[in-house]
Amino acid sequence: MSNWQAWAALAVFAAVYVLIVTEWVHRVAAALGGAALMLAIGATDDEAAFFSTDTGIDWNVVFLLLGMMMIVGVLRRTGVFEYLAIWSVKRARAKPFRVMAMLVVITAVASALLDNVTTVLLVAPVTLLVCDRLALKAAPFLIAEVFASNIGGTATLVGDPPNIIIASRAGLTFNDFLVHLAPLAALLTVVLLAMCRFLFRDAFRYDEDRAAEVMALDEREAIRDPRLLAQGLAVLALVVAGFVLHPVVHYAPSVVALLGAGLLVAVSKVEAKDALADVEWPTLAFFAGLFVMVGALIETGVIETVSQALADATGGNPLAATMTMLGASTVLSAIVDNIPYVATMAPITADLVHTVGEPHGQVLWWALALGADLGGNATAIGASANVVVLGIAERNRQPISFWTFTRYGIPVTAVTIAISALYLWIRYFALA
Amino acid sequence: MRARDLAEPYPTIALDDQALDAARLLAERRLPGVLVVDGDGLPKAVLPASQLVRLLVPGYVLEDPSLAAVIDEAHADRMCAALEGLRVRECLPKDVPLPVLADADDTTVEVAALMASSRTPLVAVLERPRDRRTAGTPRLLGAITAANLLQHLLEAAR
């Protein structure tokens, strides 16, 4: 690979990043256009792009996303999430802070199993309904749910797309995420609730008459198809079991998700074309484009050069490398989409893990995941879920400005990242 | 027959009128929509009754239609409160199309073609100044509905 190709690949990559960040062109067009240019200049080729496990499209990631999108697409038709949200609000006796706590916990748990955008799309309308009934401003509740979604998504392999990329590139299993990140995500959810009590202290005005209106909601009416609900939950349970039992059954997460999606379509009355209609094809194409572009950077030696520079900068010190990874990932994910960020950083992290070596190698992956997932909470554009909720709030005449969100996002991110740094240090260095 | 002969008086409402008045007008006259006029009395838009109904439905139900089922009937009795304080201009969708306009001199076929190509059941008829170079604003004569046009065409066919 010649030197000019490395520079050309870097220039294409930088230009595409600018286009993605500025949204001058649609991100899918930018990623696919960039991939096409990488192929055109010879920075990568068809063999590498389509068939290489190291420098090509990561089909495990693409098909895991595809399978989960199909399963979630069927599940959301059942109304189970609306049922759960309203049921929990009624259990909270419609007392505002308890309502927020219930919705935050439901969002965090759901985000661990579903993608964050789907979760907030399901929870936000229920939140608006409840706040309308309670005559409360919905913004604090919606913002808290976004934070919970990004924190909950950190907990599992399937919770957030960056985790899927990290798992595939690092060879980490569903159980690895459960053991290493889920306890921290649970702790951060509790911390988030404590912060919400303080940050939104003016939002919890209780009115008994208004509360009675919430108690009058009939959550059972939300269930549209009980049979489909039973089938969907059974398949979801099987899929989670498939993820957890990986050491026994040895199915890759992508295979488990695809088998689950296929089983759900086979046993339910949902047509295959309807299940496939819920798949976000543009997102999958975006991933494919990114993988080809990052693969070109690997093929041309750019990634190796960057990795070496980072290794030199941290002096091979595992703790310095971990904290640098956590901090840099947090800041960058607050500004740019964390999916392209992690797609780019994954091969660099793999090199750094190799340089640092055992027993501290794996902690770099956790630092990358935590920084990328939690950093998304810092600003209104830090994660897709943030943008989606702000759009819903705007359409419902409860606008949340960029700065309103960010005013709460920065302290929440600072505290959650500080706790994460402490967690990484204690668990992987002090007690190692 | 020309458009001026087919045109019938049609209820109008001003951009700054109350949305609740528009709703009452639509309900009392059983109209599918009302012509919205500007300060000069010229048509600016058609406000369909369905748009007002859409405004009555809470935004969260539009986001997630399954929530409609969980809301009790008592809430339905208060749905019209959503229109309180709203002006007609605030009820028009952002991408509201301009009303379809026919000249007073247009023939029946021209009006039918206009209605067909724009897929609208309502065409406003304007009397424009004879000499377009001279000053003077057009005048709204009324409107032709698809039902009126069909009635006229059926009578002519007998």
Over the stretch A264-283, which tens digit does the pLDDT of each residue have?
Answer: 999 998 888 888 988 889 88
Taking CB atoms and an 8 Å limit, are B60 and A79 in contact across chains? no
What was the pLDDT predicted at B88?
A: 93
Q: CA A103 → CA A88, A165, B51, B123, distances in Å?
A: 8, 28, 32, 50
In sequence order, what are the residues at sequence separation of 6 or more whose Cβ sits closer than 8 angstroms to the Cβ of residue A261?
A66, A67, A68, A70, A71, A275
What was the pLDDT predicted at A206?
A: 86
Over the stretch A321-367, which tens digit does the pLDDT of each residue have?
Answer: 999 999 999 998 888 778 888 988 999 999 888 887 777 778 999 99
pLDDT(A385) > 80 = yes
| A201 touches A117 (CB < 8 A) | no
Over the stretch A87-121, which tens digit does the pLDDT of each residue have?
Answer: 999 999 989 999 999 999 999 999 999 888 889 98
Q: What is the DSSP string of B79-133?
A: GGGGGTT-BHHHHS-TTPPPPPEEETT-BHHHHHHHHHHHT-SEEEEEE--SSTT
Sign of the dihedral through C-alpha A121, A122, A123, A128: positive
**CA-closest candidate to residue A154, choices A377, A365, A373:** A373
Nearest-angstrom CA–CA distance, A142 and A46? 45
pLDDT band at B133 (very low <50, low <70, confident <90, very high): low
Nearest-angstrom CA–CA distance, A374 and A162? 11
Q: Cα distance from B96 to chain A (closest Cα, Å)?
A: 17
What was the pLDDT predicted at A287?
A: 87
ipTM of the complex: 0.75
pLDDT(B136) > 80 = no
Q: Which residue has the higher pLDDT, A382 or B136?
A: A382
pLDDT(B17) > 70 = yes
Nearest-angstrom CA–CA distance, A251 and A67? 14
Q: What Rg value do the Cα atoms of chain B yield, rounded?
A: 18
Q: Does B76 touch chain A (CB under 8 A)?
A: no
| Look-up of token digits 């059954």 | A249
Q: What angle do CA A157, A160, A162 make, to 5 degrees?
A: 85
pLDDT(A201) > 80 = yes
What was the pLDDT predicted at A303?
A: 87
| B100 touches B30 (CB < 8 A) | no
Taking CB atoms and an 8 Å limit, are B67 and A129 in contact across chains? yes
Indicate the average pLDDT of chain A. Answer: 91
Over the stretch A284-327, which tens digit does the pLDDT of each residue have?
Answer: 998 899 899 989 998 998 888 888 888 888 777 889 999 999 99
Mean pLDDT of A51-65: 89
Q: Say what the pTM is.
A: 0.82
What was the pLDDT predicted at A186?
A: 97
What was the pLDDT predicted at A2?
A: 65
Q: What Rg value do the Cα atoms of chain A yield, rounded?
A: 22
What was the pLDDT predicted at A314?
A: 79
What was the pLDDT predicted at A9?
A: 93
Q: Cα distance from B54 to chain A (closest Cα, Å)?
A: 13
pLDDT band at A1 (very low <50, low <70, confident <90, very high): low
Q: Which of A31-40, A147-156, B109-118, B121-130 has the lowest mean pLDDT?
A: B121-130
What was the pLDDT predicted at A249?
A: 87
Query: Which residue of chain A has the CA closest to B63?
Result: A125
pLDDT(A180) > 90 = yes
Question: Measured between CB atoms, which of B59, B64, B72 is closest to A216?
Answer: B72
Nearest-angstrom CA–CA distance, A430 and B136? 87
Residues of A in contact with B90 (CB under 8 A): none
Cis peptide before A282 (omega within 30 of 0): no
Over the stretch A122-172, which tens digit does the pLDDT of each residue have?
Answer: 899 999 999 988 889 999 999 999 999 999 999 999 999 899 999 998 999
**CA-closest candidate to residue A65, choices A154, A159, A138, A132:** A159
pLDDT(B132) > 70 = no
Q: Which of A74-83, A225-234, A304-313, B146-155 has the lowest mean pLDDT?
A: A304-313
What was the pLDDT predicted at B135?
A: 59
| A364 touches A325 (CB < 8 A) | yes
Q: Cα distance from B21 to chain A (closest Cα, Å)?
A: 22
Indicate the DSSP class of residue B31: -
Most confident of A65-79, A227-241, A312-326: A227-241
Q: CA A327 → CA A71, A316, A330, A332, B101, distances in Å?
A: 34, 17, 5, 9, 62
pLDDT(A214) > 90 = no
Nearest-angstrom CA–CA distance, A138 and A127? 7
pLDDT band at A421 (very low <50, low <70, confident <90, very high): very high
Question: Measured between CB atoms, which of B60, B67, B75 is closest to A396?
Answer: B60
Taking CB atoms and an 8 Å limit, are B70 and A397 in contact across chains? no
pLDDT band at B81 (very low <50, low <70, confident <90, very high): confident
Tokens of A101: 């706590």
Q: Does B71 touch chain A (CB under 8 A)?
A: yes
Taking CB atoms and an 8 Å limit, are A82 and B71 in contact across chains? no
Tokens of B82: 């959503």
Over the stretch B46-62, which tens digit does the pLDDT of each residue have?
Answer: 898 888 898 888 888 98
| A14 touches A31 (CB < 8 A) | no
